[in-house]
Structure 1
Amino acid sequence: MFHVTVYVNSAKEYIGFQTSGHAGYAPEGKDIVCAAASVLTINTINAIDQFTGDRAILEAEQTEGYISYRIDGEVSADAELLLKSMVLGLTEMSHDEDYAQYIDLTFEEV
């Protein structure tokens, strides 16, 4: 299962996330759930880096599907919007009856 924990601060702003595991929907290279979740998370990291001035702390380990990403300091409105967009996509996947059993989405206040 692909696990995603979204970090939320006391102001209810998204400030980062952690992923781990693989969806297991299909064999490696054919797993559309893992591919979709990976695109959402990696594109969010790249977009924040490219389009905002926010600094972040990133750790990743590809074989385990592990990513730890957290904005370092105050979160800009642009970065939070990009994180909200990622959460929207992941939420839709986690509520889809065809994919819900392959993705676990949780929220953690930090």
Structure 2
Amino acid sequence: MISVTVTKEKGEFRRLYLLGHAGYADTDDVVCAAVSALVLNTINAIETFTEDHFSIGEDPGQGMIDFQFEDTVSHDSHLLMETMILGIRKIIDSYGETYVSFNTQEV
């Protein structure tokens, strides 16, 4: 299962943490591919279209991405993150919580 956790502080995005693999299929796992595409496209868009600073750690073998904003989050990044969350929720609606879980935590 892919566990997706978004952390906010005072309503502002601070961190996106993913861990695991969907396990939908042994090969050509469409759920894993869909979540990965959404997350990586969001990170790439934040990097390309905003001036926001972030750090990122990853371990592909574990299916881990740890993305953290380093300072204030722009309106554009906020919208990109909300769009990614919408996509992840739609994947969960289509394939179920057996393969992907989503959590938001406030710190």
TM-score by length of structure 2 reads 0.94
Q: Partner residue of 1:93? A: 91
Equivalent residues, number: 107
TM-score by length of structure 1 reads 0.91
Q: Partner residue of 1:7? A: 7
Moved over 2 A (4+): 13-16
Distance apart, 1:108 and its partner CA: 1.2
Distance apart, 1:69 and its partner CA: 0.3
Q: CA RMSD in A?
A: 1.1
Tell me, in whole angstroms, the C-alpha distance in 1 between the residues paired with 2:45 and 2:15. 13
Unaligned stretches of 5+ in structure 1? none
Q: Partner residue of 1:41? A: 39
Q: Tell me if 1:74 matches 2:72.
A: yes
Unaligned stretches of 5+ in structure 2? none
